[in-house]
Structure 1
Amino acid sequence: MFSLDTALPKLAAQCDSYVALQRADGALERTDWGLDDPGGTCSLVALCLYTGQNLDAAARALDYLEAYQRPSGLTDLRDCNFDSSPDAGFILQAMCPAILPSLPPAPSLPITGREGEIEGVFLPLPNPLPLLGGGGEVRDERSRGRAFLRRMVGGALTGGFHTPNHRWVMSAGLALAEQCFPDLSEQIRPVIESYLAEGFDINADGAWIERSAGVYDAICVKSLLILAECGYEKESCLAAVRRNLELNLHLFHADGTIETGLSRRQDHGTRSVPSALIIPYLWAGTLLDEPRFLQAAAFLSVKAPADGYSLVQFLRKFGEPAPIEPRLPESYACHYPVLQAHRIRRGPLSATVFGSTTRLLHLVAGQAELVSVKISQSYFGVGRFVGDSIREDDGAVILRSEGKLSPYRPGYELPLGRPVPVESYTAMRAERALRRVPYCLSELTVREIEGGITLHYKTLDGMDRVPAQIALDFAPGGIWETEDTALQPQPGQVIFLKQGTGRMRYGRDVIEISPGASAHQMWAMRDTETAPGLVRVLLTFRTPLEANITLKITRL
C-alpha cells in the first residue's frame, strides 16, 4: 500500500502537475485567484529539486522568487498575508528537504529583515541524490534555493504570527532551516525556544485552539513531529501529537470524512476526507508504535491520495511498512466536556451532539446526512435552544438551554420617567427596570437505541401557548417519502411532517423520523434560523411540551 514503487511515479506526476501551472515569468499560477503565487512557486521548486526533474522550470521559478522576495527576505500570501513570516514557516518546511544534501557552503549572506502559507511537506530527511535523475544542474539550483531560504530565515526569526498554529509551523520550519544552515543555530534556537516556552495549545480533549480537524490539525501535528525529530521537546511534542490524533480517530464518519462541526476555521461544516492526515498518522504510528494510527493512515489512503512528496520522504527514512489493514474505530461513544461535544459511532451510523451552539446534532449514515437539528420557540427573540450545558448521564447526553441569550429578554422594559436623548437611548437601556416573564428553560436528551437515536425534548419553564418547532435540516439530494407521498425536495424547501413517519432516502440509505407533530404551520417561525441550502423537515408544537422523536437508520 505504501511503497516507493508506486509513490515515485506519483511524485513525478505531482511535479509535472505543478509545472503545468507555471507562467512564462516562472511563477506558479493560482488559477482561483488569477494571480501568481509565491508559496506555490516554492512548492514547485521543492518538487523539482527533490526529484531532479523539470530543472529548467525550477530555474525560472527561482528567477521569479528572487525578484519577488521582499527586502525582509519574506514573500506574501496574496489573498491576506503580506511580508509574511508565517508563510515563511510553510515555505521552509516545503523547501528545506530539497536542499538538505551536503553541498559546497552557500555564500555568506547576511541575515536581514524580519518576518511566508503553502501547505508544504516538512519531513527533515537527508536527500543525498536526486531521485529521478539530474546532475550539476540540480546542484546549481539547490545553491540558489539555499540562498533564497537563507535570506528568508532572517525575516522568519523576527516576523511574528497571526494564528495559534503559525507558532508551530514557524518553529518547525526554523528547525529544518537550522539543519540546512548549522552556522545560524545560535540565532535560530532561541527563537524556537521562545515559541515552545508558550506551551502547546491543546486541551484535555485533545483539540488545538482552532479545533480544525479538516485542515489545521494535520499542520500542527506535522510541525510537532518535525520538532520532535529535530530534537526539540520530543516527549511533549509526541504526547500532544498522540492526544490530537486520538481525538481525530473518533471524529471520522464511516466513509473517511471527518466531523468539522467543532472547527473554528474555514473547514467548519465541510465534508471531505482529510488526506493531509495520512502522513501524520503514518509517521506518528511508526514513532509511537501505535497500530491504530497506521490503520487510519491506510484507510484514508484508500479514500484519497497521500501527498507524494511527504510519502516518498517518509518511505526513504523509515522504509516500506509491512501490510496494514485499512481500518477506523467503528463502535464507540466518547464524551468531550471541554469541547462540549459527544460522539457516537456504531458501524455506518455516526452522530455528533454539540453544546454551546444552535446546531444540536449532526447525523451521518452512509450517503444519508442529517446536517443539523435545531429547536426554537417564538419567544421574545431568545427562544432558540442553545446547549448552555452538556453532560453525559447513564449513556444519554443531556443538553440544557437556559434561554438567556439577552440581558433584557424575556421581559418588557419600563419607563425611566426622565428625558432619554435619542443619542443616549442604547446607553441608558441598562438603567431601565424590567417586567420579567419566565425564561424558556428546556432540555434535550439524546439517547442511543438499536439502529438509531431518540430525541426527548421537554420544556421546564416559560409561558404556555408559545409556538415551538424542531427543525431537521437534511443535505440536498435525498428523496422524501411518507406512506402516501414521495418527492425530490430542493434546497431551501420546508416540509411539515404532521403525523406518522417520514423518510429521507439517499440511494439505499434512509433516515426515518417519527412521529410527526402539527400544532401550527409557520413556515419560517419568527426568530428561527433558516436553512436556505438544506431541506428542512418541521415538527411543530405549542408549549408546554414533551416530545419524543425517533431517528432510525435503515438500509434498503
Structure 2
Amino acid sequence: MDDAFVRAAQDAATRGASETPVPPDGLPHRELMRRAKVLVSVAVGVPDRASADTLSLATEHVERLAELQGESGLFECGDNVQSPPDSAFTINDACDVHHLLRNGPAETSPLRDALGAIILKAAPALLSGGVHTPNHRWELASALARIHRSFPDSRLVERAEEWLAEGVDIDGDGFFSERSPNYATAVSIPSLLALAEILNRPELRVPVERNLELTLSLIGSDGSVETLPSRRQDQGTRFPLSRYLWAYRLLAVETGRPDFAWAAVLATADGIDDPGLLTELLLHPLLGETLPAERAPRRDELAVHASTSLAVVRGERSELVVYGGSDYPQQRRIRSGLAVDPTFLRFLAGAAILDSVRLSRTFFGLGPFRADGIRRGEDGSIELRERAVSGYYGPLSAERRHADGVYELADEGRFSAAMSFADREMEEVALTTSVVAHPCDGGVDLDVDLSGPPLGWTLELGFRDGGVLDSPAPRPEDGASVLTGATASYRVGGDAVHVELVGLEPSADPASYFPGEDYAFLSGTDAVGGVRLLIGGTTPARFRMRLRAERGTGAIA
C-alpha cells in the first residue's frame, strides 16, 4: 500500500469537505452532488477527521438535490434544458455514493435511501434519453450501468449496450474524437472504465490505455498536456497533467507499465488537490497500491500524430510543437465542437515559453493562416500549407436568370447573399502560404513563403507572461510590441527564447491581429493577450525566422 498517496487523497478530501459553506439552494445540481460525495467519503473513509455535522451536511445537500429534480426525473442545468447527459453526471456521482454506503453504518441508511429515490426517479428518463456530444454517450451509458449495479434491471444494460454498439470514438493515434484532455479525463476515461468493470467488458479498457499512451507524448515540461488539437473549450489552453493522476495510477498498478507510473508520479508534482480521489480510492482500493518502478518514456525524438496533424519534438534544451490540424479548411466555419485555433507553433525553452505563433493577413476577411495538414520532408522538415481562395462572381447564364430577380440565399464562404453563388462562374483570387519547420538541436528554423496579390500580413508571437521582451514598449492600440530590427529575445530568469529574422525587412507598423469575419462580424475575437511581438510585411514575401533556446547556463543551443 502506498501510504503517502492514501494520506494525500485523504487530505485533499478533508480540505474539500471543509470548503466555505454555501447555502445548498445556491448550488446547481452537479455541485450539490459533488460536495455530498466528498462529505460522505470523509465520513466513511476517515471518520476521525469528520466533524459532527459532516453527514448531516451531506444529507442537507441531497435533500436540496431532490428538490431540484423535476417531474421528468431530470435536473435543469443552464442552457441544456431537460438534458439526460447533464443529469447523468449527477446520477453517476449519486450511484457511486449509494454503492459506497451499501455496507455503511446504520446512521447512513436514511441518506442512502434518499439517494436511491433520486436515482430511481431519474432512471426512466436516462433509459429513454438522448445525447448531443460524442462523450455524452459514455457518460449516459455509464450512468445506466451504475443504476443497474444498485437496482438491477436488464433494460438498463440493453440500453447501455446500444450506445456501446456505436463503437468507441478513438482514432489510430489514440485521440478520442473530441481530442480534448478535459473531456477525456472528466468523461470518456472514467465512463469507459466504469462500463468495463460493471458490465464485465474488459475490452473497453483498451481505448483508455491507448489514450493514456498517446498522452505521454503530449506532456510538456511545464506540466501541461497539449490542447491545440482539441475540438472543445479547452483548445489552446494549459491543461494540467494532475487531472490524469488517478487514471495513470490505476492503469500503472493494473498493467505494471513503468511509463504510466512515471506519468502518475509527474502528475503529483504540484501536490494532490482532488477531493474526489478519496471516493475513487474507497471504491477501488487498487488505486492506493504501490506503483511499479517508474521509467520515463523516450521523448527526445520527433513524434507525429497524423490524425490531428500534430508534430512534437521534446529535447533536452527545448520543446517544439507544430500544428496543422484545424477543422477550418474543411468546415469553413467557426463552431463549438471544431478545432479552429490558428496557433501553428509553440516553442519552450525552460521557463521562457513562446506559447503561440499565428499568421494574420488581410485577405477577404477569411481570418488567420490555418494549415490543411502537415507534410513530412525527407530531410526531417515539417511543412504546413494553405491555399486560401475567394474572388468575384460573374453574371448568371441566360437559363439561370429569374425575371423577378429573386435568387437563392446562399453562403459563399465569407458572407451570405441572395445571389445563387453556386450557379455563377467565379474569378478566383488565391493566397498560398507555406511554413516549413526545420527542427534542430535546441531550436527550429521556419521558412515562411506567402504568394499572392499584394496585401498586408502580420506574424504574431505570443509569449507566456512572467518574462521580459527586449523590444520597444507595447503600442497603445493593441498592447503588442513591434519588431523593427532583425533580432529579439524573451527572457525569464536564466532561460530565453531568441528570435532572428533572415531575408526580411519588417514593417515598422504592422496591422494588429485580425481574427477573421466569422469573429469580427459578431464583435468577437480569438486573439491572445499577454506579451506579444509583431512582425509585419506585405506579399509576396519569403523569409526565415530562427528560434533558439537559451537555458540557465547562459549558453544558446
TM-score interval (norm. to shorter): 0.7 to 0.9
Distance 2:8 2:539 in 1: 63
Distance 1:343 1:169 in 2: 31
Counterpart among 17, 30, 38 of residue 15 in structure 1: 17
Aligned residues of 2:253 and 2:286 also touching (Cα < 8 A): no
Alpha-carbon displacement from aligned partner over 1:291-323 (angstroms, at most 9, x marks no partner): 211221111122252443345336624542147
Aligned residues of 2:460 and 2:513 also touching (Cα < 8 A): no
Alpha-carbon displacement from aligned partner over 1:321-371 (angstroms, at most 9, x marks no partner): 147559576423211221122122223533321213632112233332323
Where does residue 382 of structure 2 map in the other structure? 397
Where does residue 354 of structure 1 map in the other structure? 323
Alpha-carbon displacement from aligned partner over 1:440-466 (angstroms, at most 9, x marks no partner): 22321112111111101124x534x54
Distance 1:287 1:490 in 2: 56
Where does residue 354 of structure 2 map in the other structure? 370
SS of corresponding position for 2:214: helix
Q: One-letter code of the match for 1:287?
A: E
Distance 2:387 2:244 in 1: 38
Where does residue 40 of structure 2 map in the other structure? 49
Q: After TM superposition, give the deviation of residue 219 of structure 1 in Å.
A: 2.0
Where does residue 434 of structure 2 map in the other structure? 443
Aligned residues of 1:218 and 1:277 also touching (Cα < 8 A): no
Aligned residues of 2:252 and 2:291 also touching (Cα < 8 A): no
Alignment of 1:93-492 (within 5 A): 93-100=92-99, 128-129=103-104, 135-182=105-152, 184=153, 186-235=154-203, 237-305=204-272, 306=274, 307-313=276-282, 316-322=285-291, 325=294, 330-347=299-316, 349-355=318-324, 356=326, 358-381=342-365, 384-394=368-378, 395-404=380-389, 406=390, 409=391, 412-414=392-394, 421=405, 426-428=417-419, 430=421, 431-437=423-429, 439-459=430-450, 461-463=451-453, 466-481=455-470, 492=478
Distance 2:476 2:210 in 1: 41
Aligned residues of 1:225 and 1:284 also touching (Cα < 8 A): no
Distance 2:474 2:364 in 1: 35
Aligned residues of 1:455 and 1:548 also touching (Cα < 8 A): yes
Distance 1:288 1:344 in 2: 27
Q: After TM superposition, give the deviation of residue 391 of structure 1 in Å.
A: 1.4
Note closer, same or farther for the CA distance 1:544–1:198 as it changes in structure 2 (3 Å cut). Answer: same
Q: CA RMSD in A?
A: 3.1
Alignment of 1:536-551 (within 5 A): 536-551=532-547
Distance 2:234 2:208 in 1: 20
Distance 2:396 2:222 in 1: 60
Where does residue 58 of structure 2 map in the other structure? 58
Distance 1:145 1:382 in 2: 52
Distance 1:303 1:470 in 2: 35
Distance 1:72 1:298 in 2: 44
SS of corresponding position for 1:75: coil
Indicate the percent of aligned positions where both proteins have the same amino acid: 27
Aligned residues of 1:469 and 1:539 also touching (Cα < 8 A): yes
Alpha-carbon displacement from aligned partner over 1:217-242 (angstroms, at most 9, x marks no partner): 4421111111111234321x122112
SS of corresponding position for 1:81: coil
SS of corresponding position for 2:108: helix
Note closer, same or farther for the CA distance 1:59–1:538 as it changes in structure 2 (3 Å cut). Answer: closer
Note closer, same or farther for the CA distance 1:215–1:199 as it changes in structure 2 (3 Å cut). Answer: closer
Where does residue 480 of structure 2 map in the other structure? 494
Note closer, same or farther for the CA distance 1:470–1:63 as it changes in structure 2 (3 Å cut). Answer: closer
Distance 2:288 2:367 in 1: 58
Note closer, same or farther for the CA distance 1:488–1:311 as it changes in structure 2 (3 Å cut). Answer: farther
Aligned residues of 2:349 and 2:495 also touching (Cα < 8 A): yes
Distance 1:102 1:374 in 2: 53
Aligned residues of 2:252 and 2:292 also touching (Cα < 8 A): no
Aligned residues of 1:494 and 1:523 also touching (Cα < 8 A): no
Higher RCO by CA contacts (8 Å cutoff, separation 6 or greater): 2
Note closer, same or farther for the CA distance 1:528–1:466 as it changes in structure 2 (3 Å cut). Answer: same
SS of corresponding position for 2:82: strand
SS of corresponding position for 2:371: coil
Note closer, same or farther for the CA distance 1:540–1:313 as it changes in structure 2 (3 Å cut). Answer: same
Distance 2:266 2:510 in 1: 43
Q: After TM superposition, give the deviation of residue 195 of structure 1 in Å.
A: 0.5
5+ residue gaps, structure 1, are 30-34, 104-127, 130-134
Distance 1:490 1:421 in 2: 48
Alpha-carbon displacement from aligned partner over 1:133-155 (angstroms, at most 9, x marks no partner): xx421122222222222222222
Distance 1:510 1:488 in 2: 19
Distance 1:384 1:393 in 2: 24
Note closer, same or farther for the CA distance 1:424–1:58 as it changes in structure 2 (3 Å cut). Answer: closer
Note closer, same or farther for the CA distance 1:313–1:512 as it changes in structure 2 (3 Å cut). Answer: same
Note closer, same or farther for the CA distance 1:440–1:176 as it changes in structure 2 (3 Å cut). Answer: same
Where does residue 412 of structure 2 map in the other structure? none
Given the alignment of the two structures, is residue 552 of structure 1 paired with residue 548 of structure 2, yes or no?
Answer: yes
Aligned residues of 1:254 and 1:349 also touching (Cα < 8 A): no
Q: After TM superposition, give the deviation of residue 162 of structure 1 in Å.
A: 2.1
Note closer, same or farther for the CA distance 1:310–1:251 as it changes in structure 2 (3 Å cut). Answer: farther
Where does residue 76 of structure 2 map in the other structure? 76
Distance 2:477 2:298 in 1: 33
Q: After TM superposition, give the deviation of residue 44 of structure 1 in Å.
A: 2.6
Aligned residues of 1:341 and 1:352 also touching (Cα < 8 A): yes
Note closer, same or farther for the CA distance 1:13–1:499 as it changes in structure 2 (3 Å cut). Answer: closer
SS of corresponding position for 1:352: strand
Given the alignment of the two structures, is residue 503 of structure 1 paired with residue 493 of structure 2, yes or no?
Answer: no
Distance 2:202 2:459 in 1: 49
SS of corresponding position for 1:302: coil
Q: After TM superposition, give the deviation of residue 198 of structure 1 in Å.
A: 0.6
Distance 2:11 2:536 in 1: 58
Where does residue 523 of structure 1 map in the other structure? 510
Note closer, same or farther for the CA distance 1:330–1:348 as it changes in structure 2 (3 Å cut). Answer: farther
Aligned residues of 1:476 and 1:491 also touching (Cα < 8 A): no
Q: One-letter code of the match for 2:508?
A: Q
Please give the TM-score of this superposition, normalised by the length of structure 1. 0.81
